[in-house]
């Protein structure tokens, strides 16, 4: 087997193995092996192939991988469940004060209480959900 074919096989296997790990290391090393396969296919000596592999592997792992991981790390930014309700607007269904009340958030009726204790919010006003405390929406209305 020619060195170019060996580099190509190694690169394809490493890129394929990335599907199991999902950490973007194997795909970077696999891409470096594919680069070395290209160098070998151009007739470069083995030493040049190894140098191409080493430079590409280091560059991809140390430079491209962190940027790619940061870009792909959307999961931490995605808010779900009650976290997604914070910051939304709600409509007061029954008077809300520090003791309680009811608001409608995205069509669902929630128990609510005012963020500021002296604040009394009448039915029909729009409020902002500041936090969810248990099963109660803590809301605030512009004065």
For the stretch 82-96, pLDDT in tens is: 788 899 999 999 999
- The range of the structural domain enclosing residue 93 comes to 81-140
Please give the model's pTM, rounded to 2 decimal places. 0.52
Give the pLDDT score at 109.
95
Q: How far apart are the first and last CA of the chain?
A: 79
Token pair in block for residue 26: 């194997």
* Short-list 39, 11, 37, 40, CA closest to 26: 11
Give the pLDDT score at 72.
77
39, 54, 72: which is the final residue of a domain? 72
Rg (CA), the chain: 29
Helix (H) or strand (E) holding 137: strand 136-140
Instruction: Kindly state whether residues 102 and 42 are assigned to the same domain.
Output: no
Residue bearing the bigger pLDDT, 21 or 3: 3
Give the pLDDT score at 90.
95
Instruction: Kindly state whether residues 13 and 67 are assigned to the same domain.
Output: yes
Give the pLDDT score at 77.
65
For 120, how many CA atoms within 13 A lie in the half-sphere containing its CB?
1
Residue 46's pLDDT band, with cuts at 50, 70 and 90, is: very high
Instruction: Kindly state whether residues 56 and 85 are assigned to the same domain.
Output: no
- Sequence-ordered list of residues with C-beta below 8 angstroms from that of 129, at least 6 positions apart, any chain: 85, 86, 87, 88, 89, 90, 103, 105, 137, 138, 139
Model confidence at 108: pLDDT above 70: yes
Strands (E), 23-135: 89-94, 102-105, 108-114, 126-133
39, 72, 105: which is the final residue of a domain? 72
Average pLDDT over residues 28-55: 94
Cβ–Cβ < 8 Å for 114, 97: yes
User: Domain holding 112: CATH number?
Assistant: 2.40.50.140
Instruction: Kindly state whether residues 53 and 93 are assigned to the same domain.
Output: no
Percentage, residues of the chain above pLDDT 70: 95
Instruction: Kindly state whether residues 105 and 51 are assigned to the same domain.
Output: no
């Amino acid at each position: 087997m020619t060195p170019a074919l060996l580099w190509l096989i190694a690169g394809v296997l490493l890129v394929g193995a990335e599907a199991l790990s999902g950490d973007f290391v194997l795909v970077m090393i696999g891409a470096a092996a594919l680069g070395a396969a290209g160098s070998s296919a151009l007739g470069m000596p083995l030493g040049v192939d190894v140098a191409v592999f080493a430079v590409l592997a280091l560059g991809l792992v140390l430079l491209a991988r962190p940027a790619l991981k940061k870009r792909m790390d959307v999961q931490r930014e995605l808010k779900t469940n009650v976290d997604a309700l914070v910051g939304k607007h709600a409509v007061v269904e029954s008077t809300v004060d520090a003791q309680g009340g009811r608001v409608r958030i995205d069509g669902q009726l929630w128990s609510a209480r005012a963020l500021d204790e002296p604040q009394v919010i009448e039915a029909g006003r729009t409020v902002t959900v500041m936090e969810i405390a248990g099963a109660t929406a803590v809301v605030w209305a512009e004065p």
